[in-house]
Amino acid sequence: MSGTICIIPARYESKRFLGKVLADIGGKSILSWIYDRVKQVKGIDKVIVATDNERIKNEVEGFGGIVELTRSDHPSGTDRVAEVAARIKNADLIVNVQADEPFISIDALEKGVNEMKTRPEIQMGTLVTEDCDINSILDINHVKVVETEDHFALYFSRSPIPFYRDILQTHYLKHIGVYFYKRDFLLKLVKLPQSRLELAERLEQLRVLENGYKIYLIKTDYNGISVDTVADLKRAREYALQMGWIS
Protein backbone atom coordinates (compact mmCIF):
# COMPACT_ATOMS: atom_id res chain seq x y z
CA MET A 1 0.00 0.00 0.00
CA SER A 2 1.55 3.24 -1.11
CA GLY A 3 0.02 5.61 1.41
CA THR A 4 -2.73 6.34 3.93
CA ILE A 5 -4.25 9.82 3.98
CA CYS A 6 -6.74 11.17 6.49
CA ILE A 7 -9.09 13.80 5.11
CA ILE A 8 -11.29 15.72 7.55
CA PRO A 9 -14.34 17.26 5.81
CA ALA A 10 -15.24 20.51 7.56
CA ARG A 11 -18.05 22.89 6.72
CA TYR A 12 -19.17 26.06 8.43
CA GLU A 13 -22.86 25.91 7.55
CA SER A 14 -23.89 23.16 9.95
CA LYS A 15 -27.67 23.22 10.32
CA ARG A 16 -27.69 22.04 13.92
CA PHE A 17 -24.77 24.20 15.12
CA LEU A 18 -23.48 26.95 12.85
CA GLY A 19 -19.68 27.04 12.76
CA LYS A 20 -19.30 24.22 15.27
CA VAL A 21 -15.90 23.11 13.97
CA LEU A 22 -14.53 26.48 15.12
CA ALA A 23 -16.14 26.27 18.57
CA ASP A 24 -13.65 26.67 21.41
CA ILE A 25 -12.66 23.99 23.92
CA GLY A 26 -9.99 25.25 26.29
CA GLY A 27 -8.47 27.69 23.82
CA LYS A 28 -8.48 25.30 20.85
CA SER A 29 -11.11 24.80 18.17
CA ILE A 30 -12.85 21.45 17.80
CA LEU A 31 -11.08 21.13 14.45
CA SER A 32 -7.68 21.69 16.07
CA TRP A 33 -8.39 19.02 18.69
CA ILE A 34 -9.28 16.50 15.98
CA TYR A 35 -6.32 17.38 13.76
CA ASP A 36 -3.85 17.05 16.62
CA ARG A 37 -5.17 13.62 17.58
CA VAL A 38 -5.18 12.25 14.03
CA LYS A 39 -1.59 13.44 13.57
CA GLN A 40 -0.58 11.02 16.35
CA VAL A 41 -2.03 7.96 14.63
CA LYS A 42 0.58 5.44 13.51
CA GLY A 43 -0.03 4.39 9.93
CA ILE A 44 -1.54 7.68 8.73
CA ASP A 45 0.95 9.44 6.49
CA LYS A 46 -0.77 12.81 6.02
CA VAL A 47 -3.73 14.76 7.40
CA ILE A 48 -5.70 17.23 5.27
CA VAL A 49 -8.75 19.35 6.09
CA ALA A 50 -11.20 19.67 3.18
CA THR A 51 -13.42 22.75 3.30
CA ASP A 52 -15.20 25.32 1.16
CA ASN A 53 -14.99 28.04 3.82
CA GLU A 54 -12.30 30.72 4.19
CA ARG A 55 -12.76 31.01 7.97
CA ILE A 56 -12.04 27.31 8.35
CA LYS A 57 -9.11 27.56 5.93
CA ASN A 58 -7.63 30.39 8.02
CA GLU A 59 -8.12 28.41 11.23
CA VAL A 60 -6.29 25.36 9.86
CA GLU A 61 -3.42 27.42 8.53
CA GLY A 62 -3.30 29.22 11.88
CA PHE A 63 -2.58 26.02 13.79
CA GLY A 64 -0.13 24.80 11.14
CA GLY A 65 -2.34 22.24 9.43
CA ILE A 66 -2.79 21.35 5.77
CA VAL A 67 -6.03 22.46 4.13
CA GLU A 68 -7.51 22.19 0.65
CA LEU A 69 -10.47 24.14 -0.67
CA THR A 70 -13.29 22.23 -2.31
CA ARG A 71 -16.49 22.97 -4.17
CA SER A 72 -19.37 24.22 -2.04
CA ASP A 73 -22.10 22.04 -3.55
CA HIS A 74 -21.16 18.65 -2.11
CA PRO A 75 -24.18 16.77 -0.71
CA SER A 76 -22.13 14.95 1.96
CA GLY A 77 -18.79 14.79 3.69
CA THR A 78 -17.92 11.70 1.68
CA ASP A 79 -18.26 13.65 -1.56
CA ARG A 80 -16.06 16.44 -0.19
CA VAL A 81 -13.41 13.92 0.87
CA ALA A 82 -13.52 12.28 -2.55
CA GLU A 83 -12.79 15.58 -4.33
CA VAL A 84 -9.52 15.87 -2.42
CA ALA A 85 -8.76 12.14 -2.66
CA ALA A 86 -9.07 12.33 -6.46
CA ARG A 87 -6.13 14.77 -6.51
CA ILE A 88 -3.90 12.42 -4.52
CA LYS A 89 -2.34 9.76 -6.70
CA ASN A 90 -0.06 8.04 -4.19
CA ALA A 91 -2.64 6.91 -1.61
CA ASP A 92 -4.51 3.62 -1.51
CA LEU A 93 -6.35 4.09 1.78
CA ILE A 94 -8.43 7.16 2.66
CA VAL A 95 -9.57 7.81 6.23
CA ASN A 96 -12.52 10.16 6.70
CA VAL A 97 -12.73 11.56 10.25
CA GLN A 98 -15.82 13.69 10.61
CA ALA A 99 -15.30 17.07 12.24
CA ASP A 100 -17.47 16.52 15.31
CA GLU A 101 -15.37 14.14 17.45
CA PRO A 102 -12.86 16.41 19.28
CA PHE A 103 -11.48 13.56 21.39
CA ILE A 104 -11.44 10.82 18.76
CA SER A 105 -9.50 7.79 19.99
CA ILE A 106 -6.01 7.36 18.57
CA ASP A 107 -6.15 3.63 19.37
CA ALA A 108 -9.48 3.22 17.56
CA LEU A 109 -8.13 4.94 14.45
CA GLU A 110 -5.00 2.78 14.51
CA LYS A 111 -7.15 -0.36 14.81
CA GLY A 112 -9.23 0.72 11.82
CA VAL A 113 -6.19 1.49 9.67
CA ASN A 114 -4.60 -1.86 10.55
CA GLU A 115 -7.80 -3.78 9.77
CA MET A 116 -8.06 -2.17 6.35
CA LYS A 117 -4.41 -2.76 5.52
CA THR A 118 -4.52 -6.44 6.47
CA ARG A 119 -7.93 -7.21 4.90
CA PRO A 120 -7.55 -6.43 1.17
CA GLU A 121 -11.03 -7.79 0.43
CA ILE A 122 -12.69 -5.03 2.49
CA GLN A 123 -13.43 -1.93 0.45
CA MET A 124 -14.97 0.19 3.22
CA GLY A 125 -15.04 0.08 7.00
CA THR A 126 -16.30 2.21 9.86
CA LEU A 127 -16.07 2.35 13.65
CA VAL A 128 -18.81 1.21 16.04
CA THR A 129 -19.09 0.82 19.80
CA GLU A 130 -21.51 -0.79 22.22
CA ASP A 131 -24.02 1.63 23.71
CA CYS A 132 -26.28 0.99 26.71
CA ASP A 133 -27.09 4.62 27.57
CA ILE A 134 -30.82 5.00 26.94
CA ASN A 135 -30.52 8.76 26.36
CA SER A 136 -27.89 8.16 23.70
CA ILE A 137 -29.91 5.37 22.11
CA LEU A 138 -32.96 7.61 21.78
CA ASP A 139 -30.96 10.60 20.50
CA ILE A 140 -31.47 11.03 16.74
CA ASN A 141 -28.00 12.58 16.48
CA HIS A 142 -26.49 9.25 17.62
CA VAL A 143 -26.67 6.77 14.76
CA LYS A 144 -27.40 3.13 15.50
CA VAL A 145 -26.41 0.13 13.36
CA VAL A 146 -27.30 -3.55 13.09
CA GLU A 147 -24.79 -6.11 11.83
CA THR A 148 -24.45 -9.53 10.28
CA GLU A 149 -22.76 -12.45 12.02
CA ASP A 150 -19.53 -11.62 10.18
CA HIS A 151 -19.67 -7.94 11.25
CA PHE A 152 -20.88 -6.20 8.13
CA ALA A 153 -23.55 -3.50 8.40
CA LEU A 154 -27.14 -4.43 7.66
CA TYR A 155 -28.57 -0.96 8.23
CA PHE A 156 -27.86 2.38 9.92
CA SER A 157 -30.61 4.52 11.42
CA ARG A 158 -31.26 7.48 13.64
CA SER A 159 -33.98 5.35 15.27
CA PRO A 160 -33.16 2.67 17.84
CA ILE A 161 -32.60 -0.54 15.85
CA PRO A 162 -33.33 -3.38 16.09
CA PHE A 163 -36.79 -3.06 17.63
CA TYR A 164 -37.15 -5.57 20.47
CA ARG A 165 -40.82 -6.52 20.50
CA ASP A 166 -41.03 -8.88 23.48
CA ILE A 167 -38.04 -8.10 25.68
CA LEU A 168 -36.55 -4.99 27.24
CA GLN A 169 -33.22 -4.33 25.57
CA THR A 170 -30.82 -1.46 26.19
CA HIS A 171 -27.83 -2.85 24.30
CA TYR A 172 -27.18 -1.34 20.87
CA LEU A 173 -24.34 -0.63 18.48
CA LYS A 174 -23.57 3.06 18.00
CA HIS A 175 -21.87 4.35 14.89
CA ILE A 176 -18.81 6.58 15.25
CA GLY A 177 -18.18 9.12 12.48
CA VAL A 178 -15.04 7.61 10.97
CA TYR A 179 -14.85 5.88 7.59
CA PHE A 180 -12.03 3.93 5.95
CA TYR A 181 -12.14 3.53 2.17
CA LYS A 182 -9.92 1.97 -0.43
CA ARG A 183 -9.34 5.00 -2.67
CA ASP A 184 -10.63 3.37 -5.85
CA PHE A 185 -13.85 2.34 -4.11
CA LEU A 186 -14.39 5.85 -2.74
CA LEU A 187 -14.04 7.41 -6.19
CA LYS A 188 -16.52 4.87 -7.57
CA LEU A 189 -18.95 5.46 -4.71
CA VAL A 190 -19.32 9.19 -5.20
CA LYS A 191 -20.29 8.73 -8.83
CA LEU A 192 -23.52 7.13 -7.61
CA PRO A 193 -26.49 9.46 -7.04
CA GLN A 194 -27.75 10.08 -3.52
CA SER A 195 -29.99 7.18 -2.60
CA ARG A 196 -33.56 7.15 -1.33
CA LEU A 197 -32.64 5.93 2.16
CA GLU A 198 -29.67 8.28 2.38
CA LEU A 199 -31.97 11.22 1.77
CA ALA A 200 -34.62 9.90 4.18
CA GLU A 201 -32.26 9.42 7.16
CA ARG A 202 -29.64 12.00 6.07
CA LEU A 203 -26.98 9.30 6.46
CA GLU A 204 -24.48 9.16 3.64
CA GLN A 205 -23.36 5.58 4.41
CA LEU A 206 -26.76 4.28 3.33
CA ARG A 207 -25.82 5.06 -0.27
CA VAL A 208 -23.27 2.26 0.03
CA LEU A 209 -25.72 -0.34 1.35
CA GLU A 210 -28.57 0.65 -0.96
CA ASN A 211 -26.31 0.04 -3.95
CA GLY A 212 -25.37 -3.45 -2.77
CA TYR A 213 -21.90 -2.78 -1.35
CA LYS A 214 -20.64 -3.79 2.09
CA ILE A 215 -19.39 -1.79 5.08
CA TYR A 216 -17.24 -3.67 7.58
CA LEU A 217 -17.85 -2.74 11.23
CA ILE A 218 -14.72 -2.28 13.34
CA LYS A 219 -15.57 -2.47 17.04
CA THR A 220 -13.89 -0.24 19.58
CA ASP A 221 -14.29 0.59 23.26
CA TYR A 222 -14.19 4.30 22.42
CA ASN A 223 -17.52 5.97 23.13
CA GLY A 224 -16.68 9.64 22.86
CA ILE A 225 -18.54 12.91 22.73
CA SER A 226 -19.83 13.89 19.32
CA VAL A 227 -20.49 17.64 19.19
CA ASP A 228 -23.73 18.16 17.26
CA THR A 229 -25.38 20.79 19.48
CA VAL A 230 -24.47 23.57 21.89
CA ALA A 231 -25.36 21.20 24.75
CA ASP A 232 -22.83 18.70 23.39
CA LEU A 233 -20.18 21.42 23.36
CA LYS A 234 -20.82 22.08 27.04
CA ARG A 235 -20.40 18.35 27.78
CA ALA A 236 -17.18 18.27 25.76
CA ARG A 237 -15.75 21.18 27.75
CA GLU A 238 -16.71 19.53 31.02
CA TYR A 239 -15.14 16.25 29.91
CA ALA A 240 -11.88 17.93 28.86
CA LEU A 241 -11.75 19.69 32.23
CA GLN A 242 -12.41 16.43 34.05
CA MET A 243 -9.61 14.70 32.12
CA GLY A 244 -7.19 17.52 32.97
CA TRP A 245 -6.68 18.49 29.33
CA ILE A 246 -7.80 22.08 29.96
CA SER A 247 -7.97 24.29 33.03
Grouped pLDDT means (10 residues each) for the chain, 247 residues: 88 86 96 97 97 97 97 93 94 95 96 95 97 89 95 97 82 94 96 95 96 98 90 95 93
Contact present, 236 and 230 (Cβ < 8 Å) = no
Indicate the pairing of strand 172-182 with strand 216-219: unpaired
The residue range of the domain holding 220 is 4-242
> Is residue 247 domain-resident?
no
> Is residue 158 domain-resident?
yes
> Is residue 115 domain-resident?
yes
Q: What is the pLDDT of residue 2?
A: 62
Nearest to 173 by CA among 221, 212, 112: 221
Looking at the structure of the chain, the number of domains it has is 1
> Is residue 72 domain-resident?
yes
Q: What is the pLDDT of residue 247?
A: 86
Q: What is the pLDDT of residue 31?
A: 97
Positive or negative: CA dihedral 104, 107, 108, 109: positive
CATH number of domain containing 21: 3.90.550.10
Separation of alpha carbons 202 and 76, rounded Å: 9
> Is residue 80 domain-resident?
yes
Give, for 62, the enclosing helix (H) or strand (E).
helix 54-62
Query: Cβ contacts of residue 111 below 8 Å, gap of 6+?
Result: 218, 220
The whole-model pTM stands at 0.94
Q: What is the pLDDT of residue 1?
A: 43
